[in-house]
């Protein structure tokens, strides 16, 4: 099992990195970016690629290894000798669990840091000749400990829609509710946002609004320079689970719904366990595979495609409020785990009778 797992991890990693390198080549040709910078971006993406490769490798290695044992009648001999399926698959489940734990650790400790470094390099490249690329549904931390959030951006007109600014330490007391500035729209320049038609909300220590005022126009400095602007932008992929939890609490405290972030928060735990789930599904599919590694590749592609299609579907449901964020993240795992258990029970109790 170990040999095909390592082989698959290296193979899928090279495949993913080659695909990414193809995209980054445009930076070298069009943007005249130094090759060393592109290599840095590629290396910073490596941890995220490994997390993607672990589940697929676990599934393929399971199907390949057990398929080989089934083809050579080793499974039949073990079962005739009194070993049940539950005993035969223990090493596979342990390896799947190990890969899941490793995926979670890398995804929590290494991937956010590496993704942030990678994205900052990309932002600096595009910073040289374009206006800052403010993304929708992305927050960044600005000067004076402010947090900025924009729901929609019109890049052609350089207009921001549904702007929210949070000032956590406005009252000077730790743990107090933030002052919240909202505006229907605004215009962004190099280091200033011109907000229009907005409202300022101030809260007491209990979370009740004590002051509320309207304004027709307000200038908000967003950074001391564009490099600061880019350096403090973060997507959910650039945050650890604990960091994302803090930001979600900050927004929920102000009454703002952040369903998509909550889904991503739960996915940071659910996705790493795909390795264990894939092993659970792969085992019963392998026991009847007597056609070698070619059929194993087919099984792998079908299961991976089905899993990620379902995951994307439920993720969309959760982000749009059609499903609770927890269930949107975990239902694909639950569905495939139940499917795997049913297939295993079928192999254990019904196939030989």
Q: Which helix (H) or strand (E) holds 264?
A: helix 259-270
Across 128-137, 185-194, 228-237, 329-338, the highest mean pLDDT is recorded for 329-338
Q: Tell me how far apart the terminal alpha carbons of the chain are, to the nearest angstrom.
A: 29
Collapse the DSSP code of 235 into the 3-class scheme (helix H, G, I; strand E, B; otherwise coil) and give the result. Answer: coil
The answer to whether 283 and 46 have CB atoms below 8 angstroms apart is no
pLDDT in tens, 33-86: 788 888 888 889 899 999 988 998 888 888 888 878 877 888 888 888 888 777
Tens digits of residue pLDDT in 298-326: 777 888 889 999 999 999 999 888 899 99
- pLDDT at position 90 is 87
DSSP secondary structure letters along 273-290:
GHHHHHHHHHHHHHHT--
DSSP-derived secondary structure letter, 236: G
In eight-state DSSP terms, residue 177 is P
Asked if the model's pLDDT at residue 136 lies above 90, the reply is no
Task: Please state the rounded mean pLDDT for residues 109-131.
Answer: 74
Give the pLDDT confidence score for residue 347 in this predicted structure.
Answer: 75
Instruction: For residue 353, give the 3-state DSSP assignment.
Output: coil
């Amino acid at each position: 099992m170990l040999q095909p797992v390592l082989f698959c991890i290296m193979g899928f990693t090279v495949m993913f990195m080659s695909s990414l390198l193809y995209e980054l080549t445009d930076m070298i040709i069009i943007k005249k970016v130094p090759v060393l910078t592109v290599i840095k971006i590629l290396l910073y993406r490596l941890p995220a690629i490994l997390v993607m490769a672990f589940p697929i490798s676990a599934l393929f290695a399971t199907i390949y290894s057990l398929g080989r044992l089934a083809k050579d009648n080793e499974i039949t001999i073990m079962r005739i000798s009194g070993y049940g399926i539950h005993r035969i698959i223990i090493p596979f489940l342990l390896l799947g669990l190990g890969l899941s734990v490793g995926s979670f650790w890398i995804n929590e400790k290494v991937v956010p840091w590496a993704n942030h470094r990678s994205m900052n390099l990309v932002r600096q490249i595009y910073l040289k000749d374009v206006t800052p690329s403010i993304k929708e549904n992305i927050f960044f931390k600005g000067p004076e400990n402010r947090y900025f959030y924009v729901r929609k951006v019109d890049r052609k007109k350089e207009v921001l829609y549904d702007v929210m600014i949070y000032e956590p330490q406005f009252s000077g007391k730790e743990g107090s509710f933030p002052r919240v500035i909202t505006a229907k729209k605004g215009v962004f320049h190099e280091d200033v946002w011109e907000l229009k038609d907005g409202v300022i909300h101030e809260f007491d220590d209990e979370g009740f609004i004590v002051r509320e005022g309207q304004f027709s126009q307000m200038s908000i400095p967003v950074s001391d320079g564009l490099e600061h602007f880019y350096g403090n932008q973060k997507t959910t992929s650039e945050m650890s689970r604990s960091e994302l939890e803090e930001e979600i609490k900050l927004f929920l405290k102000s009454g703002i719904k952040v369903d998509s972030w909550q889904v991503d928060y739960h996915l940071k735990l659910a996705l790493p366990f795909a390795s264990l789930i894939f092993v659970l599904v792969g085992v019963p599919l392998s026991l009847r595979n007597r056609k070698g590694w070619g059929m194993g590749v087919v099984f792998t592609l079908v299961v991976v495609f089905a899993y990620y299609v379902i995951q994307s579907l439920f993720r969309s449901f959760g982000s749009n409020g059609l499903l609770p964020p927890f269930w949107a993240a975990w239902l694909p795992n639950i569905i495939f785990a139940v499917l795997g258990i049913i297939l295993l029970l079928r192999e254990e109790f019904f196939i030989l009778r």
